[in-house]
Structure 1
Amino acid sequence: MKRPGPLLTLLAGLLFGVFMLSLNATTGERSSPSAFASPPPAATTTAPPAPSTAAPEAPSTAAPEPSAPVPDDAEYAGRTDDDSAAVAVTVRDGRAIAYFCDGRARESWLRGDVAADGGMRLTGRDGDELNAVLRQGKRIRGTVEVGGREHAFTADRAKKPSGLYRATATVREARIDAGWIVLRDGSQVGVLTRDGAPSPAPRIDPATGAVTVDGQRLTARPATP
């Protein structure tokens, strides 16, 4: 009986080769990347904001509003409608000072602003008040309330020497405060207070303002706000 040596050897070699081929194939499949692997995530980028298409705001070209005109500097003098007293008003730089007096004992000094339209509200002591309107720079028409009594008045634009005057001084240890309204016809209405006691004021020289009080010569000057 023959020994199957060479045939078995050949058969063993074939089996070994098939085994090695199978082993290589298995190893290659494990080492190669999977065809179904998920692709890496795509990089995300933020788009820059779209440029604004709105037109830039144009600078204002409107011209600034002109300042309201200031009433002309002037003096006004006149009488109350009942002819019981006189009223004078002096306007300077949008401010006004007014004087009311009856030439005997009642008087009042009032101050305040003048609006661009000529309106004015002037106030004095003890609630005294003047409300009036300057009309076209020619006259002032309104009312004045002094000591609880109201008077309507008209004061026309004055020309020197008419207008409003005042003098203050100490004479023989007495405090003197006096006011005068010189009207267009040259007449004068004034009150002088001596230590608070009122009395009719002596006449002044309108050209110079000179006046004599208790033997002492004083100078009355135009009253301004």
Structure 2
Amino acid sequence: MTRRGPLLTLAAAAVLGLALLGVNMSKEEPAPAAATSPAAAVVPPTTAVPAPSPVTPGVPFPAKADYVGTITRAAGPPLTLAITVAEGAVTAYACDGAAVETWLQGRVVDDVARLEGKNGARLEGRAGGGAVRGTLWIGDKSWEFTAPVVAGAAGLYAATDGGVRQSWIVDGAGGVTGVGRGPDGTTAPAGPLPATATRIGGGDSAD
């Protein structure tokens, strides 16, 4: 008689052991890696756009006014500058009281006086604070200027006698500076200011 009991018992135990080993191995398998979130997008820093600088509005010129100022030069006597304004029309005259002179004419546009004269002379100025401030060009030279407002007899005058045109500037203190120009274009210091001289204003020109 063959004994199968112990053999069957051993076989069943072996099967049970293999089953338990499989369960344990399944428990020891590493868990699947957690899904990684995509890298956050790199946002470049926003560059702030500077706001435009406020435009300072110009100061309107008076309807009528006279201005006289002095320009110091590196060489030679100072220039005296007269500017007369009437309803937007502007006349200016600069001279050194000896030989240099120039007449300029123009208008006020957008609160800026822009004037031109012979041989490339020009002037740009703005009104404000009881004066005109700007730049005067004569030939290849240029100067910054400030010409305060003047009143009374101060201003610009001219007269012509025997073909000689004489021009004078009377400053706020009563000082007189002038140049005379002959028919041939030669210049010399002007004579005394006569009572018959014409006051230049309202855009009139002696040129």
Normalising by the smaller structure, the TM-score range is 0.5 to 0.7
Measured in 1, the distance between the counterparts of 2:106 and 2:78 equals: 24
1:92 to 69, 86, 94: 86
**What are the equivalent positions in structure 2 for 1:1-225 lying under 5 Å apart?**
71-82=62-73, 84-117=78-111, 119-136=112-129, 138-169=130-161, 171=162, 175-195=163-183, 196-204=185-193, 209-210=194-195, 219-224=196-201, 225=203
Taking only aligned residues, the RMSD between alpha carbons, in angstroms, comes to 1.9
Runs of 4+ that moved beyond 4 A: none
Q: Secondary structure of the residue that 2:119 maps to in structure 1?
A: helix
Q: Deviations over 1:68-120 (max 9, x none)?
A: x7632011111014471110000011110000101101100000011352x11
Paired letter, 1:113: R
Change (3 A) 1:157 1:163: same
Paired letter, 1:92: A
Measured in 1, the distance between the counterparts of 2:100 and 2:148 equals: 22
Verify the 8 A CA contact 2:61 2:127 in the aligned structure 1. Answer: no
Measured in 2, the distance between the counterparts of 1:70 and 1:157 equals: 11
Where does the alignment leave 5 or more consecutive residues of structure 2 unmatched? Answer: 1-59
Measured in 2, the distance between the counterparts of 1:70 and 1:139 equals: 10
Q: Report which structure shows greater RCO (CA 8 Å, sep ≥6).
A: 2
TM-score using structure 1 length: 0.58
TM-score using structure 2 length: 0.63
State percent identity of aligned pairs.
36
Where does the alignment leave 5 or more consecutive residues of structure 1 unmatched? Answer: 1-68, 211-218
Paired letter, 2:99: A
Q: How many residues are treated as equivalent by the alignment?
A: 140
Q: Secondary structure of the residue that 2:153 maps to in structure 1?
A: coil
